[in-house]
A and B are shown apart, each in its own frame.
Chain A
Amino acid sequence: MSTQEQQPPETEEEAEAEQAVETEPGAPAETPGERRRRERAERRTAERAPSTDEVEGPTVHLKVYRYDPEVEGKAEPRFDDFYVPREEGMTVLDALMYARDHYDSSLTFRHSCRQGVCGSDALFVNGTQMLGCQTQISDLDDPVRIEPLPHQDVVKDLVVDMEHFYERMHAVEPYFDPDDEPPGEMEEYRQSRENREKIKMATRCIWCGACASSCTIAATDEQYLGPAAINAAYRFAMDEREGDDRMEERMGIVEQEHGVWRCQTQFSCTQVCPKDIPLTEHIQELKREAVKQNLKFW
């Protein structure tokens, strides 16, 4: 698999040089465009140098966001380059794991099941939120730029603080609470096939946080529940077995000022959801449901 293990030293130096430029006090701030052009030029020279010959065969060029507030030299965020041998069927997560295992063991990111179920490795890849384990390297343009999810605090490298996301998820009381139990003790609590179909997509959420990260409203309005939490509310609100009291309580939460009404139907969440949940559609349906309830009252 690997022939050469070391990353070319040039890129290390480049990273340090870049860092020096960035931390220089009083230096005029570069515009993002200038910086990108400079980085590209530097990268091009680095690329022609040993990097590609050291690893035999085709490589993938990863540009990975690095940040570690606890280490002095890494407290200023930067991008590190890794050249990983390209393999058939390789995912972004595979490439990151290769870089960590062979080049830099301090590279930090979350992952667990590696098959799109645990929701740990939502990343910002080439400008879009996606699951690292579910994204084929071959589907991406080179270089692959990997950043932590936007609009969340970065803990280290690609790891973001998910606390605020989880708080909002819990805020909609995402659990089943029927009014009456089924008659027999061992009886199943059945749901009609149609009703199951209705909530099927909503049940697929893996709490990865990609949707909330893509939403500009969730980014600026901290109290907004966000797509995932509203979807969780939808999953129970549309379940015919749900008890009336819990249903009322949950609708009350969802139709607060910072609930469903903040959704501006940008469709960003729907587009990035790795589970293809029609989030916007669900939010819209809850809006209409809330309006209907209020109209009935009038």
Chain B
Amino acid sequence: MAERYSTFQPHGTAWLLQRVTGAFLVLVLAFHFFLLHFVHHPADIEFAGTQARMSQVSYFATMWLFLVTATFHGVNGVYAALINQGLTGTRKRVVRWVLILAGAALIVQGTRTALVMAGV
């Protein structure tokens, strides 16, 4: 059976991660929308309130995971959509790196913002 694994392909892992992050995002996105549109209205948001929420470790961790999983889910989804459209060769490699860098930049900036919000 060892031979079997020499053909190991990463595509199944990406597919699985897309599903796992999707399942997580279903809950967190619903929570996020509910909290910041129905409990707190966006027009009334003040930095103090944001800071109070973000200084809770569990809330901070949830929001940071939300950022990372949403970025992966979105960027990987865009990549899959482009492969479905028949993207191949050099253009495919370029698109992949552009998406990876954009995703990384978003996570870095999001993390910095989150740290500012938490008052660290």
User: Which positions in A face B, CB cutoff 8 Å?
Assistant: 217, 220-223, 244-245, 248-249, 251-252, 255-259, 261-262, 264, 287, 290-291, 293-294, 297
Docked Cα-Cα span, A43 to B74, in Å, equals 49
Q: Answer whether A264 and B84 are a contact pair too, CB < 8 Å, given A248-B7, A252-B7, A287-B15.
A: yes
Assuming A261-B15, A291-B16, what are 19 further A-B pairs, CB within 8 angstroms?
A217-B84, A220-B86, A221-B83, A223-B88, A245-B3, A251-B4, A251-B7, A256-B9, A259-B11, A261-B11, A261-B14, A262-B83, A264-B84, A290-B12, A291-B15, A294-B8, A294-B12, A294-B16, A297-B8
- B45 close to A (CB within 8 Å): no
Residue interface bits B26-69, CB-to-A below 8 A is 1, else 0: 00000000000000000000000000000000000000000000
B11 with A221: CB separation less than 8 A: no
Q: Answer whether A255 and B9 are a contact pair too, CB < 8 Å, given A244-B1, A291-B16, A293-B4.
A: yes
Contact residue among B4, B9, B80, B88 (Cβ-Cβ distance under 8 Å from A248):
B4
Docked Cα-Cα span, A252 to B12, in Å, equals 11
Docked Cα-Cα span, A127 to B27, in Å, equals 39
- B85 close to A (CB within 8 Å): yes
Which residues of chain B are within 8 angstroms of A255 by Cβ–Cβ distance? Answer: 7, 9, 11-12
Which residues of chain B are within 8 angstroms of A291 by Cβ–Cβ distance? Answer: 12, 15-16
- B90 close to A (CB within 8 Å): no
| Cβ distance B89 to chain A, nearest Cβ, rounded Å | 11
Contact residue among A245, A248, A261, A264 (Cβ-Cβ distance under 8 Å from B12):
A261
Contact residue among B3, B5, B83 (Cβ-Cβ distance under 8 Å from A297):
B5
| Cβ distance B104 to chain A, nearest Cβ, rounded Å | 22
Contact residue among B11, B15, B85 (Cβ-Cβ distance under 8 Å from A220):
B85
B12 with A221: CB separation less than 8 A: no
Which residues of chain A are within 8 angstroms of B4 by Cβ–Cβ distance? Answer: 248, 251-252, 293
Which residues of chain B are within 8 angstroms of A222 by Cβ–Cβ distance? Answer: 86
Secondary structure class of chain A's binding surface, majority of residues: helix
Which chain B residue has the least Cβ–Cβ distance from A289? B12
| Cβ distance B26 to chain A, nearest Cβ, rounded Å | 17
Which residues of chain A are within 8 angstroms of B85 by Cβ–Cβ distance? Answer: 220-221
Docked Cα-Cα span, A248 to B9, in Å, equals 13
| Cβ distance A66 to chain B, nearest Cβ, rounded Å | 29
Which residues of chain A are within 8 angstroms of B86 by Cβ–Cβ distance? Answer: 220-222
| Cβ distance B91 to chain A, nearest Cβ, rounded Å | 14
Q: Answer whether A294 and B7 are a contact pair too, CB < 8 Å, given A220-B85, A257-B83.
A: no
| Cβ distance A40 to chain B, nearest Cβ, rounded Å | 34
Docked Cα-Cα span, A256 to B1, in Å, equals 19
B84 with A220: CB separation less than 8 A: yes
Which residues of chain A are within 8 angstroms of B16 by Cβ–Cβ distance? Answer: 291, 294
Most A Cβ at <10 Å: residue of B7, B12, B14, B84: B12
Residue interface bits B66-108, CB-to-A below 8 A is 1, else 0: 0000000000000010011110100000000000000000000
| Cβ distance A244 to chain B, nearest Cβ, rounded Å | 7
Docked Cα-Cα span, A245 to B14, in Å, equals 26
Which residues of chain A are within 8 angstroms of B15 by Cβ–Cβ distance? Answer: 261, 287, 291
Which residues of chain A are within 8 angstroms of B80 by Cβ–Cβ distance? Answer: 261
Which residues of chain A are within 8 angstroms of B7 by Cβ–Cβ distance? Answer: 248-249, 251-252, 255
Docked Cα-Cα span, A221 to B1, in Å, equals 32
Docked Cα-Cα span, A255 to B13, in Å, equals 11
